Chain A
């Protein structure tokens, strides 16, 4: 899918140069940086809310925050990591403010204490609920496992591409992905109907 192409082809040297230019007040550089990363942020915000309007609002808010705080971003840090962290924090704030009715899904409650519908209630509602639960469970994974899972399944990147993007070995990507699946299975056990 060509929509994902923008997500895959990001050169980190370009990013560093653009960040420097944004710090110097270059408007075009900021727009280019936004073009490069807006889809990645959207994937994160959409998987959080499963609602396009909210996801787009959060994309905009994330880039505005980045623009205002760009002077605090230190050279040598991972820009993408910082960007996604800002986006995630804003999502959590937004969720608490506007989705309080469904707060239990992101609260401190363990997943197995959530109000999960019975598996036998078949249909579209069940599929939607499973996606909701899966989204919340992914958010509960350890940082690196979550990143790998999202890049692999939501962004549909190959293991090699993930390894290159995160500057880690292929073996580490595979290991983290396996752990992510194992932990998700454990978190989703009540819904999946596991007994052991």
Chain B
């Protein structure tokens, strides 16, 4: 076994072409005694012989080749193929032309523009930044709204009637001479204010079911129309007539009744 190991080393030297005469003699001696190593050696020599035969084939084939002509032929073929390839590169596809270095700044600009536009659009459309966030929406039924409107109209009418009552009382309770003086204070003005206010509450009175209130308000309107035209030239007699009209129509009483009615409903 030890001889076989030594033979393996010699085999390695034999393959390396470094076997000495002395080593060769020892190897031969071992091979005669050891069939296993002899088989190894036979196989290796067969492989070497096969490789040598192949080498001879290659040499024979190489002998018949005109190498200079081959090199020239290859060079010409390479140049011809390159020339064929060149027109293709000249007629490069459109997208390839666009990616040439000279177009790169243009591409960069377009890209930057698209990015900037996208960011701006996003920020503008995003709620909460430049666009106020939508407030919460409260919803109520139309029935509820109608009731609220009616209540407001009644309060408004009540207030109107109360103020009208004070104004008429002032007028009625004043003696005729005093009434003249009233014409110089803001009584006429107050009456004009009340007229314009009447125009405002008319829409409520028309819409809402307040027929009685509307009647009295209309009468008061006429009265205020008269009062608003009070001037220094008006005679005491005429003032007395107006006072008599108020008394006859029981306007103050009616106002009082309507007020009570409305107060009970509000």
Contact = CB atoms under 8 A, between A and B. Distances in A.
Given A134-B47, A134-B51, A64 B78 contact: yes
Interface in A46-86: 46-47, 50, 52, 55-56, 59-60, 63-64, 67-68
Interface string A135-161: 100000000000001000110101100
Contacts of B12: 174, 178
B85 interface: yes
Interface stretch (B55-63, B93-101, B109-117, B138-146): B55-63
A55 B61 contact: yes
Nearest to A37: B71
A17 interface: no
B141 to A, nearest CB: 80
Interface in B30-83: 39-40, 42-44, 46-48, 50-55, 57-59, 61-65, 67-68, 70-75, 77-79, 81-82
B181 interface: no
Interface residues of A, number: 45
Contacts of A35: 67-68, 71
Contacts of B47: 134, 181, 184-185, 188
Q: How large is the interface on B (under 10, 10 to 19, 20 to 34, 35 or more residues)?
A: 35 or more
Nearest to A6: B67
A178 B39 contact: no
A9 B75 CA distance: 22
B15 interface: yes
A96 interface: no
Contact of B72 (A31, A39, A127): A31
B62 A42 contact: yes
A77 B50 CA distance: 33
B58 A46 contact: yes
B65 A34 contact: no
B16 interface: yes
A67 B54 contact: no
Nearest to B8: A178
Contacts of B82: 67-68
Contacts of A166: none
Nearest to A189: B43
B17 interface: yes
Contact of A46 (B61, B67, B79): B61
Given A47-B58, A134-B47, A188-B43, 10 more contacts: A34-B74, A56-B65, A64-B77, A131-B50, A131-B53, A135-B54, A153-B51, A154-B55, A178-B15, A194-B39
Interface of A: 1, 3-4, 6, 27, 30-31, 34-35, 38-39, 42-43, 46-47, 50, 52, 55-56, 59-60, 63-64, 67-68, 127, 130-131, 134-135, 149, 153-154, 156, 158-159, 174, 177-178, 181, 184-185, 188, 192, 194
Interface of B: 12, 15-17, 39-40, 42-44, 46-48, 50-55, 57-59, 61-65, 67-68, 70-75, 77-79, 81-82, 85
16 contacts: A46-B57, A47-B54, A50-B54, A56-B70, A59-B70, A60-B74, A67-B78, A68-B78, A131-B57, A149-B51, A153-B48, A154-B54, A154-B55, A174-B15, A178-B15, A188-B47
Q: Which 9 A-B pairs have the closest CB atoms?
A: A153-B51, A67-B78, A134-B50, A31-B75, A34-B71, A52-B61, A35-B71, A63-B74, A192-B43
